[in-house]
Homo-oligomer: A and B are copies of this chain.
Amino acid sequence: MVAIVSAGISRFGKRSESIFDIAAESSLPVLRKHRNDVDFVIVSNAYSGEFNGISGLNSLLTSYLSLDKIPSLKVDNTSSSGGTSALVAKSLLESGMADSVLVCGVEKMTEKPTREVAGIIASLLPERERSAGPSLPSLAGLLAKLYMKRYSPKREAIAEVSVKNRANGALNPISHIQKVLTLEQVMESKVIVDPLRLYEFCPVSDGSASILLVRDEDAASYGTKPIYIRGAAIASDTSHITDREDLLRINSVARSGREAMKQAAIDRPDFAELHDMASILEIVQAELLGFFHEGEGWKAMESGRTEIGGDLPINTSGGLMARGHPIGASGIAQIYETYLQLRNEAGNRQVRNAETGLTLGMAGFGNSATSFVLGVSP
């Protein structure tokens, strides 16, 4: 078992700084206290080659951070890189191969125009599906259509995800998007992929988040209030969306999430950070994780149960939708928010009396997913 003993995050958004400066912004607060403890660095990043023309990012970053002698590697699992990196960190610690692992998730996406970014990200789809036209946003649109057909939700309830996450994001000083939105604004924004609209998708962002992980038994010596990883799991499903029996049944999400909760011995967490790349995904994921009955997640959204004051707050950080989604950083940013909440340091978006929080990262359209349950006790 492992624990998080320090964490940092950068401002998310369109940044003019280099990818190294952005990564340093979240890592230096950790290194300021623990520079001499770190004995391994994992960089979570998916596209530094394509977006920034940089390879070997892990070695360049450790040199940039004056950690030249510290071994490092880069983990890539596209949008689930952050969670996957934390999982590798956990195994390095539990196997005794390292005693203290800094995981830095970072991506700088805004160097390229949005259309080009979307094309690069679509390179994670199988060629036969890519050439047939689908992109990740269009799959989200298809998912929304299917959900609406099967369960007849109020259309507005889906859009409420964006309203809620934008409201939460406005309370988070590092969020990419700081503006709140009304339901009307969401419903009147441009249709991107029918039925989903512009404000129902996450933006293209730059940003980084860092965490320092150690073994449970070493955590006390690192200072106040470690946060424990009580469950951690990764699961996969076919990359060929057309091979899936049911598009709504994203197996990797259900399996990784349920496994992490099983390890943590909980039925549901007190709050969660989900992978709201599009509004509909938050609802579908919450159902797959067993937070709500199938086809009823939209009701929980409508009735405010997932707001900060609700009985199962989701994406208090603002989620991918408002905080932003720098691909390699998102998974670590979710863990950062959970760490903050469990330490009672989330300021005016603080969840009350929370003892466990869940994070879910999804690669591609569920090719892979990683889930963590964090807790105030082991």
Q: Using a CB–CB distance below 8 Å, which chain A residues touch chain B?
A: 46-47, 49-50, 53-56, 58-60, 62-63, 68-78, 84, 87-88, 90-97, 120-121, 123-124, 126, 234-240, 243, 251, 363-364, 367-368
| Contact of B87 with A55 in the complex, beta carbons under 8 Å | no
| Contact of B92 with A59 in the complex, beta carbons under 8 Å | no
Task: Return chain B residues, CB-CB under 8 Å to A56.
Answer: 46, 77-78, 123-124, 239, 363-364, 367
Q: What secondary structure prevails in chain A residues at the interface with B?
A: mixed
| Copies per complex of this chain | 2
CB distance from A180 to the nearest CB of B (A): 34
CB < 8 Å neighbour of A123 from B54, B63, B84, B87: B54
| Contact of B126 with A63 in the complex, beta carbons under 8 Å | yes
Task: Return chain B residues, CB-CB under 8 Å to A236.
Answer: 59, 62, 68-72
CB < 8 Å neighbour of A71 from B49, B121, B368: B368
| Contact of A75 with B74 in the complex, beta carbons under 8 Å | yes
| Contact of B123 with A239 in the complex, beta carbons under 8 Å | no
Task: Return chain B residues, CB-CB under 8 Å to A69.
Answer: 235-237, 251
CB distance from A274 to the nearest CB of B (A): 19
| Contact of A76 with B74 in the complex, beta carbons under 8 Å | yes
| Contact of A68 with B368 in the complex, beta carbons under 8 Å | no
The docked-state distance in angstroms from the alpha carbon of A96 to that of B263 is 14
| Contact of A77 with B77 in the complex, beta carbons under 8 Å | no
| Contact of A59 with B367 in the complex, beta carbons under 8 Å | yes
The docked-state distance in angstroms from the alpha carbon of A157 to that of B74 is 37
The docked-state distance in angstroms from the alpha carbon of A235 to that of B126 is 36
CB distance from A250 to the nearest CB of B (A): 13
The docked-state distance in angstroms from the alpha carbon of A207 to that of B56 is 20
Q: 7 interchain pairs (CB within 8 A)? A: A47-B49, A50-B50, A56-B363, A58-B76, A70-B236, A76-B76, A91-B97
The docked-state distance in angstroms from the alpha carbon of A236 to that of B40 is 10
| Contact of B55 with A78 in the complex, beta carbons under 8 Å | yes
The docked-state distance in angstroms from the alpha carbon of A180 to that of B123 is 40
| Contact of A121 with B90 in the complex, beta carbons under 8 Å | no
Task: Return chain B residues, CB-CB under 8 Å to A96.
Answer: 94
The docked-state distance in angstroms from the alpha carbon of A120 to that of B77 is 21
| Contact of B240 with A63 in the complex, beta carbons under 8 Å | yes
| Contact of A63 with B97 in the complex, beta carbons under 8 Å | no
Name 4 extra pairs, CB < 8 A, besides A63-B240, A73-B84.
A55-B124, A59-B124, A70-B236, A90-B95
| Contact of B60 with A126 in the complex, beta carbons under 8 Å | yes
The docked-state distance in angstroms from the alpha carbon of A97 to that of B234 is 10
The docked-state distance in angstroms from the alpha carbon of A91 to that of B96 is 8
